[in-house]
Structures are given as C-alpha cells and as structure tokens.
C-alpha cells in the first residue's frame, strides 16, 4: 500500500491525484445539470406574466448604494432550504429571483439577518430610522449608522447609461419599440413602462415621488433609493400560488 508520505513528497503525483479528486467533485456537480430541463424556475403572475422583473431605475440606484456601502458583507440574500431558515425568513430563495442581479447579493456571512425577503416587512419610516440610527429601533444591533443617506442628494444623471450596461449583460431593459413591445408581452404594460431606458430619469423621479421613501417629499435622497430597493426584496413571487412540489422539479 502506498504511504501518504510518498504522495506528499512527490510533487508530480500529488498534482495528478489532486486534479483527479477535483475532477470527481466537478463531475458530481455538473453531470446532473444535463438531466434537468432548466435550473431557473418558471414563475408567473396570476395574469400569466413573468413574476420576477428587472429592477426599476430607482431600485437599481438603491442597489448600487447597497453595494457601495458594503451591506452585503453583513447581510446575505439567500435563504437556504432548511426548516429553521424557512421559519425565520420565509420560503427558500429561488434561482429566478437572482437572475437579473449583477452582481448577485447572495453573501457568505450573516452578521445581520438575511434580507432576501425583507420587502414590505417593515414600513418606510422604520427603514429610514434603522439606517439612520440602528440602535434606536434594534437596541442590540451592531450595525453602523448611515445618517448621510438622508443628507446626500441622489445622483441619478447616469442612470440611463447604467441600465444600458446592464442590458448588455442580458437584463431586458428596452431601448427600441420592438424591445418595449416584447417587455409588454413578458411583464405587462405597467412593468414595461418602468424598464424603458429612454424614460429612465422620469421613471425614477415618478417612483420616488409616489413612494416618498425617505419621508421628505421635497428632496430626492440616497435614502429614497436604498429604501425602495429594500422594499422590493422578496416581493416579486407570490408563493401562495404554488405547491412546494412545483419548485422541487427545478432542483
């Protein structure tokens, strides 16, 4: 029998055996994918449109701020298919819910709770206060204060270019009438209007005015954008429409 020492002292043999073991692990992960029709779930609304949509201009601006402030370092956005996680956070995360996220925000650490389904869980006022002074609403929180989000005006002049860049990665924002019509068929007219790059700034302003996410209708701040993003997380899929066995077919 070959001694372990003889493998460790033979660089060539160690490399070959390491590659062999890695190959087995890779095949175990890859081969099953050839026997699955799709790994991204098909999720529809009651009207038959795609339930998961790209982010609106305001939500995307908020997502950029979320990434800029490093929120993903302490908050994951991936609920695993375990009972304890489902009881605390809700239904496990679907692949479909991340298909328009560039980069994805699954995270790898939970210093704070998972945020995959935080949307509509708290009011806008709660989020504003929590971001401004976390311990005023959660005394045991170790999250830093983010008061500047209320002080900084939202810079959105480049939002159209941002959406164009995302469009190049496959996110279905529209520039042409043909692309807009395709989005109407896919998401419905109301959603398609928000995905029109030609009206990106106007759509951003309209959503901010309607939502008044930071509580101050006279200003458009970074807080508006970030709260708009947080409030949409986990709200696109109505899980009450599906049996649990439906999503198992994609796993």
**What residues of the chain score a pLDDT lower than 50?**
none
Whether residue 220 contacts residue 153, with contact meaning beta carbons closer than 8 Å, is answered with: yes
For residue 92, give the DSSP letter: P
Burial of 200 (0-12, 13-18, 19+ CB in 10 A): buried
Cis omega before residue 163 (within 30°)?
Answer: no
In a domain, 85, yes or no: yes
pLDDT at 176 (0 to 100): 97
**pTM of model > 0.85:** yes
Which pair of tokens denotes residue 118? 């935080």
Measure Cα distances from 185 to 56, 192, 208, 241 in Å.
17, 9, 26, 21
Gap between the Cα atoms of 56 and 42, Å rounded:
21
Residues 121 and 223 reside in one and the same domain: yes
Residues 74 and 16 reside in one and the same domain: no
In a domain, 242, yes or no: yes
Residues 126 and 69 reside in one and the same domain: yes
In a domain, 243, yes or no: yes
Whether residue 235 contacts residue 95, with contact meaning beta carbons closer than 8 Å, is answered with: no
Residues 99 and 186 reside in one and the same domain: yes
Q: How many domains does the chain have?
A: 2
Burial of 198 (0-12, 13-18, 19+ CB in 10 A): middle
Residues 30 and 98 reside in one and the same domain: no
In a domain, 48, yes or no: no
In a domain, 41, yes or no: no
Residues 62 and 18 reside in one and the same domain: no
Whether residue 154 contacts residue 221, with contact meaning beta carbons closer than 8 Å, is answered with: yes
Gap between the Cα atoms of 82 and 80, Å rounded:
6
Which pair of tokens denotes residue 164? 């164009």
pLDDT at 202 (0 to 100): 98
pLDDT at 3 (0 to 100): 76
Q: Angle 57-68/159-168 helices, nearest 10 degrees?
A: 90
Residues 164 and 109 reside in one and the same domain: yes
Which pair of tokens denotes residue 187? 């998401």
In a domain, 231, yes or no: yes
Helices within the chain (DSSP H only):
4-8, 11-30, 57-68, 83-89, 124-132, 148-151, 159-168, 177-187, 189-194, 200-211, 222-232, 244-248
Residues 79 and 138 reside in one and the same domain: yes
Residues 82 and 23 reside in one and the same domain: no
Whether residue 72 contacts residue 111, with contact meaning beta carbons closer than 8 Å, is answered with: no
In a domain, 173, yes or no: yes
Residues 21 and 142 reside in one and the same domain: no
pLDDT at 68 (0 to 100): 97
In a domain, 42, yes or no: no
CATH number at 214 reads 1.10.760.10
Which domain, by its residues, includes 66?
57-248
Q: Angle 200-211/222-232 helices, nearest 10 degrees?
A: 80
Residues 27 and 62 reside in one and the same domain: no
Residues 166 and 125 reside in one and the same domain: yes
């Amino acid at each position: 029998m070959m001694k372990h020492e003889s493998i460790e002292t033979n660089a060539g043999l160690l490399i070959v055996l390491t590659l062999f073991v890695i190959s087995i692990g890779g095949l175990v992960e890859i081969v099953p994918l050839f026997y699955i029709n799709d790994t991204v779930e098909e999720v529809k609304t009651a009207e038959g449109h795609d339930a998961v949509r790209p982010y609106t201009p305001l939500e995307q601006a908020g997502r950029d701020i979320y990434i800029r402030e490093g929120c993903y370092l302490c908050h994951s956005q991936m609920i695993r298919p375990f009972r304890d996680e489902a009881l605390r956070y809700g239904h496990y995360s679907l692949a479909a819910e991340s298909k328009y996220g560039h980069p994805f925000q699954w995270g790898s650490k939970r210093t704070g709770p998972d945020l995959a389904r935080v949307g509509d869980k708290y009011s806008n006022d709660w989020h504003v206060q929590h971001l401004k002074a976390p311990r005023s609403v959660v005394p045991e929180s170790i999250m830093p204060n983010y008061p500047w989000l209320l002080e900084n005006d939202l810079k959105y002049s480049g939002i159209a270019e941002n959406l164009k860049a995302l469009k190049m990665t496959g996110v279905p924002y529209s520039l042409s009438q043909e692309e807009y019509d395709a989005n109407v068929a896919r998401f419905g007219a109301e959603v398609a209007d928000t995905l029109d790059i030609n009206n990106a700034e106007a759509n951003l302003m309209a959503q901010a005015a309607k939502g008044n996410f930071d509580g101050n209708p006279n200003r458009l701040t970074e807080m508006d954008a970030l709260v708009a993003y947080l409030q949409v997380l986990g709200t696109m899929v109505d899980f009450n429409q599906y049996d649990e066995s439906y999503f198992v077919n994609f796993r």
